[in-house]
Structure 1
Amino acid sequence: MDHVIRPVRPDEWRQAKELRLLGLQDPAAPVAFLETYEQCLAQPDSFWRQRVAERAGLVRQFIAEAPGESWAGSVTVLVEEAGSLDFMDTVIQQRQGHVVGVFVRPEHRGTGLLGELMTAGLDWAWSLNGPPLERVRLCVHEENPRARAAYRKLGFTPTGLVLPFAMDDSAKELEMAVGRPAGR
């Protein structure tokens, strides 16, 4: 099925909430996301409205939709400014993109949809005004080989940086990144 890949709109907070809650029920969720289903389910509608409204400016959430169907997947890219702190309270050394919240419904996995979503997110990141982003990174749990393989297929390579997993200090996350394409 052909999907339209586009940024989420502020009035689509209900659909964004539905997709996030679905993603948090996925068997890989405990090693893929930094929040739980229970935490998100307990949030009021105002939380979801604000979360989606923030997906403008230097944060953009891309979704895949087909007419008459629920959203098939989502990728969010945010800009981390040099000197700011990341999710691990580590100082960001360079202005860069960071891919988060990646989810594709099981029935759409293996169809190329993740690549389409990621391409939209990366195209947006490379097109931003201001100092150019030299790279876009993501963090993937050491025990999520399916995701690591998918990201490798999309051009992300391990950087060698290993971080403690925010939900369990005994586990590790591996940073992967893709560099700015020539001519962008």
Structure 2
Amino acid sequence: MNHVIRAIRTDEWPAVKRLRLEALRDPLAPLAFLETYEDALAKPDFYWQERTSTAAEGAFQRQQFIAERPDGAWDGSVTVLVEEAGSEDFLGHVVESEQGHLVGVFVRPEQRGTGVAAALFEAAVDWCRKRGLDRVRLFVHEDNARAEAFYRKAGFVATGVTGPVPGGSGHREREMVLRWPSDPA
């Protein structure tokens, strides 16, 4: 892998938008994202500018990492959202401790299996550790076996917590967490 893994910069909102739109056109998008291509495409530029600025390098509550090729093209992304203790998550559960929540995981199909996703996850998890978060979690669609297998390989384990996929599809998502080495099993 010859990519640079780094946080996005505020002025890169057009590239953030392009990569997100590409991710939403992926055949697996309905299993991985809660947004459609059409909805994202309709959003005005100021939406993308704000989305980028709140997840750019130096942001404290969220951080988006990208995998950048030597030619400047982006081949993947992951975003970390910080969930504060005492806040309510999207399932309506109270968050017990300050934690990272990985979302928006995407790697271009031709880069899957090359180490790009692992490098993105390493950067995101490292940011969470440096930020002092208690744990890192994510949710995976019950029918997204490929993603779940990758998450397990990356050290995430299922917690048994599940919830409905927003939108009323009848499908469920499973919570997976990465516990720090000092955590009890």
TM, length-normalised to structure 2: 0.93
CA distance, structure 2, for counterparts of residue 134 and residue 156 of structure 1: 14
Q: Following TM superposition, where does structure 1 have runs of at least 4 consecutive aligned residues deviating by more than 2 angstroms?
A: 87-90
1:84-163 matches, cutoff 5 A: 84-128=87-131, 132-163=132-163
Q: Aligned pairs, how many?
A: 180
CA distance, structure 2, for counterparts of residue 69 and residue 11 of structure 1: 14
C-alpha offsets along residues 38-68 of structure 1, whole Å, 9 cap, x if unaligned?
A: 1100000000000000102120000000122
C-alpha offsets along residues 108-160 of structure 1, whole Å, 9 cap, x if unaligned?
A: 000111000000000000001xxx32210000000000000000000001000
C-alpha offsets along residues 154-177 of structure 1, whole Å, 9 cap, x if unaligned?
A: 000100001101133410000000
Which amino acid counterpart does residue 27 of structure 1 have in structure 2? P
CA distance, structure 2, for counterparts of residue 89 and residue 158 of structure 1: 19
Aligned residue for 2:106, secondary structure, equals strand
The reply on whether 1:24 has 2:24 as its aligned counterpart is: yes
The reply on whether 1:74 has 2:81 as its aligned counterpart is: no
Confirm or deny: 8 A CA contact 1:133 1:180 kept in the other structure. no
How large is the Cα RMSD of the aligned pairs? 1.3
Confirm or deny: 8 A CA contact 1:79 1:96 kept in the other structure. yes
Which amino acid counterpart does residue 71 of structure 1 have in structure 2? W
Aligned residue for 2:25, secondary structure, equals coil
Aligned residue for 2:34, secondary structure, equals coil
1:48 aligned residue: 48
Which amino acid counterpart does residue 41 of structure 2 have in structure 1? L
Gaps of 5+ in 1: none
CA distance, structure 2, for counterparts of residue 40 and residue 88 of structure 1: 23
1:34 aligned residue: 34
1:171 aligned residue: 171
Gaps of 5+ in 2: none
CA distance, structure 2, for counterparts of residue 95 and residue 152 of structure 1: 22
CA distance, structure 2, for counterparts of residue 151 and residue 21 of structure 1: 23
Which amino acid counterpart does residue 67 of structure 1 have in structure 2? P
- What percent identity do the matched residue pairs reach? 54
Alpha-carbon distance, 1:25 to partner: 0.6
